């Protein structure tokens, strides 16, 4: 998945399927057996500053080489402990904020 420290997501503990299933910017993973959910994981973005990622519909955010056509965005700034889009500079094209755990990711175009 891109090597150590490059995972685009981290597993949250205390995950509630009713709260996180389909929530914006979170990814859920569900194991089923005989139409019954046996395991449910909530995954939150865990981007590394200055790294590039792409959003894969089936697997969520994945690390991508900034020079590759797979790269969808670069993390310009990562701010832990605060969820506020106003913390990003004008250079950011997009912002992802998380409420649990609180974090702000300022995103820009990948650079080849």
State the SS3 of the chain. CCCCCCCCEEEECCCCHHHHCCCCCCEEEEEEECCEEEEEEEEEECCCCCCEEEEECCCEEEEECCCCCCCCEEEEEEEECCCCHHHCCCCCCEEEEEECCEEEEEEECCCC
Q: Which residues contact 10 (CB under 8 A, 6 or more apart)?
A: 43, 44, 46
Please determine, for residue 81, whether its predicted confidence score (pLDDT) is greater than 60: yes
- Residue-wise pLDDT tens digits, 9-35: 665 555 555 554 444 565 666 667 788
Q: What is the pLDDT of residue 86?
A: 97
Instruction: Report, as an integer, the average pLDDT of 79-91.
Output: 95
């Amino acid at each position: 998945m891109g090597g150590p420290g490059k995972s685009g997501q981290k597993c949250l503990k205390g995950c509630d399927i009713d709260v996180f299933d389909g929530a914006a910017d979170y990814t859920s993973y569900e194991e089923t057996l005989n139409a019954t959910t046996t395991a449910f994981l909530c995954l939150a973005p865990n981007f590394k500053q200055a790294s590039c990622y792409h959003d894969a519909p089936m697997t969520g955010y994945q690390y991508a080489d900034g020079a590759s056509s797979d790269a969808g965005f670069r993390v310009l700034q990562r701010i832990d402990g605060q969820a506020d889009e106003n913390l990003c500079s004008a250079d950011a094209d997009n912002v992802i904020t998380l409420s649990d755990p609180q974090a702000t990711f300022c995103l820009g175009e990948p650079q080849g």
